[in-house]
């Protein structure tokens, strides 16, 4: 006898392109989103933090060194932390050349531009709130407020997620109607209780943490189950067989959403 699923309908696609299409194009850029879209993806994941003047923009790392030419442009002794710079300076950086010459000159993406790209094309978005250390509350609230404004007329809102419970709490306080998900790289004591206290709708965790028991725990609490970063076909099938709800992948060239379960 199967147990009836009483959770609300899940409006998002199962397959999600990580950081746009962060292997085939420079991660967290508009070029990466366009690449993922060309491969048939309708949902994307990205990392959002704040510039010094409070502009939300896409960047995974705390620093600009790995994915921009900041080292060449910043004056000696200037901070490499992305959140330590005004958006007017960040917008001048090259966020594509590190990946390949084909993307030379690709700029950092503002959250506003990414949102408008998704909304204009009917794409879904998982926004990871990625605060500069010490700015968890400020970033969570700001990202939630911007998301609420941008998606005010949309049928399906973006899914906000974070590894930082304080950032999710700030998002909850600012825009409680936006769906939230707790990101996990380990099942630390109290993970489920924390997700429920934040009124989360989902858990997004390292794929290896999902098994029949953990999926059942999340499901019994009314939570959806998503995984990162799923780049192996056998692991993808394992997670599908477990009944998980979302797979975040770098390999948009290996998994075609239209042909996947």
Instruction: Determine whether 137 is an active site residue.
Output: no
Q: Which one of the listed residues 18, 85, 99, 146 is annotated catalytic?
A: 18
Instruction: Determine whether 18 is an active site residue.
Output: yes
In 3D, which of 6, 102, 88, 99 has the Cα closest to residue 51?
A: 88
Is 138 in contact with 50 (CB distance < 8 Å)?
Answer: yes
Sequence-distant (6+) residues with CB within 8 A of 260 are 14, 15, 236
Q: Which one of the listed residues 39, 60, 85, 137 is annotated catalytic?
A: 60
Give the residue numbers marked as catalytic: 18, 60
């Amino acid at each position: 006898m199967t147990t009836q699923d009483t959770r609300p309908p899940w409006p998002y696609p199962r397959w999600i392109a990580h950081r746009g299409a962060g292997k085939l194009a420079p991660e967290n850029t508009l070029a990466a989103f366009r690449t993922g879209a060309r491969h048939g993806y309708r949902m994307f994941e990205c990392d959002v933090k704040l510039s010094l003047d409070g502009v939300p923009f896409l960047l995974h790392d705390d620093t600009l060194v790995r994915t921009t030419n900041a080292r060449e442009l910043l004056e000696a002794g200037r901070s490499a932390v992305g959140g330590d710079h005004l958006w007017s300076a960040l917008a001048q950086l090259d966020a594509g050349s590190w990946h390949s010459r084909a993307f030379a000159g690709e700029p950092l993406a503002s959250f506003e531009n990414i949102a408008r790209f998704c909304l204009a094309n009917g794409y879904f978005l998982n926004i990871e709130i990625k605060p500069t250390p010490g700015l968890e509350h400020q970033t969570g609230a700001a990202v939630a407020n911007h998301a609420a404004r941008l998606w005010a007329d949309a049928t399906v809102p973006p899914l906000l997620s974070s590894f930082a419970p304080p950032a999710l709490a700030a998002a909850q306080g600012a825009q409680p109607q936006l769906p939230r998900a707790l990101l996990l790289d380990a099942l630390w004591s109290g993970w489920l209780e924390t997700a429920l206290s934040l009124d989360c709708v989902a858990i997004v965790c390292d794929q290896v943490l999902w098994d029949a028991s953990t999926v059942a725990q999340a499901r019994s609490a009314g939570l959806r189950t998503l995984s990162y970063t799923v780049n192996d076909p056998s692991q993808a099938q394992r997670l599908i067989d477990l009944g998980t709800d979302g797979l975040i992948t770098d390999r948009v060239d290996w998994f075609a959403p239209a042909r996947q379960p």
